[in-house]
Amino acid sequence: MEKIGFIGLGIMGKPMAKNLLKAGYSLTVYDVVPGPVAEVVEAGAQKGTSCKDVASKSDIVITMLPNSPEVKEAVLGKDGVLDGAKEGMILIDTSSIAPLASQEVSKEAAKKGVIMLDAPVSGGEPKAIDGTLAFMVGGPEDTFNKVKGILDVMGGSVTLVGEIGSGNTTKLANQIIVALNIAAMSEAMTLATKAGVDPEKVFNAIKGGLAGSTVLNAKMPLALEGNFKPGFRIVLHIKDLQNALDTAHSVGVPVPLSSVAMEIMQALKVDGHGADDHGGILQFYEKLAKVEVRRQ
Catalytic residue numbers, as ranges: 171
Q: Which residues pair with 91 in a beta bridge?
A: 61, 116
First-to-last CA distance in the chain?
53
C-alpha–C-alpha distance, residues 270 and 52, integer Å: 37
* 121-122/133-138 β-pairing: antiparallel
Sign of the Cα torsion 43, 49, 53, 54 reads: positive
List residues bridging with 93 in a β-sheet.
Answer: 63, 118
DSSP codes, 166-191: HHHHHHHHHHHHHHHHHHHHHHHHHH
* C-alpha dist (Å) from residue 236 to 150, 179, 232: 26, 12, 7
